[in-house]
A and B are shown apart, each in its own frame.
Chain A
Amino acid sequence: MNGIASPAVLTPASYKSAYKPIWCPGCGDFSVLSSVTKALAKVGVPPQDVVVVSGIGCSSRIPAYTSCYGFHGVHGRALAAGTGLKVARPELTVLVAGGDGDGYSIGGNHFLHACRRNVDLTYIVMDNHVYGMTKGQASPTTEPDWDNKLSPGGTGIRSFHPLVIALASGANFVARAFAGDPNGTAEIIAAGIRHPGFSFIEVLSPCVTFRPEQRLWKQHAHPAPVGPTDDPARAARRIMTDDGFNIGILYAGDRTPYPTHPGNAKRTPADLETEFEL
């Protein structure tokens, strides 16, 4: 935590740290940061009760830019750290954040199992279809025909479809947001935080440096024509057949979250030693 006390009235500014983001000007992640702070203010949970956990990548810098507790962890392992934290300290609000490379490639297996476990946390992926920090390699969500010098003619590999994979793996809340709609994204993040279980929010967040053509996303993004469903089969059909730019909560299920024990917070290392005594 960056030493900011909780003010009487929580505003988005209450969740911002004094550190200025070093993202490229124009990056969609600025907008996502703004949405996260707005969402937390809306939910009203004080900064000292929130932990933002991330992996590695441009977007994974986000914990430092908030006044909440933060853990900038190992590449692809943000969900593992976030899951452990939530299970040990269920009274905390845990947000896990990162990019498409971190979450779907290096951390792909953690993603599947985090959805399956359905621990009550919110996973925000800032998806720009590219590895930005390492200067523009194709990521799991990159289009197969994205032609550049690092993958001439494109990778030819089918793109990962995170929303339907999250749904099939058991995520209890699945949504797509767009960085060009920061207020709408804030609403979705707030809903994800409030929804019990594992909430997965994919934010289309343009990379203006390596994928400048993604500025066109604002011409394509549009609110989902129908509201969320609690029927996974219907949600899957919608997600598989939409144009990739439907913005909104696409699925809100009622699976019971992985049980955590509120008493965990009061346990001491000695209690743990007793538990693991052979």
Chain B
Amino acid sequence: MKVEAKMLLGLGLFFGIMCAVYWNWSLENAGGVMMFAGMLLCFLPGSYYYFWSRRMKARPEDDPNATQASGAGVVGSFPGTSIWPFTLGMGAFMVVLALVFGIWFLIPGLGLVAWALLGGTAEGRRGGKV
């Protein structure tokens, strides 16, 4: 994960320098705060990947001489059909409509959101149903 780490840390460093120059030179705080936060956002995964890349051996996708056979086995868990994204989406839709049409929309909205979160988590743990 070295390339990923360097890319993110590099971006973060660039934002940091830009932030230092801008915040000092301008008379304006909002931009400075936003650029600073952008820098932190890049450093967060970047440093995580950096420290991991030093500890782990090359994954098959980081190995320029890997064979396809080296990637055999479990790739990951890919939930097939699931009703929960749709349910959560409809719940979020109703929550937003509550912002416009009245707080009573929050009842079905938050209800669907909670149901979807519970159902989706259970599905993930249990392995889901057909």
Bound together = no
Chain A interfacial positions (CB closer than 8 Å to B): none
Chain B interfacial positions (CB closer than 8 Å to A): none
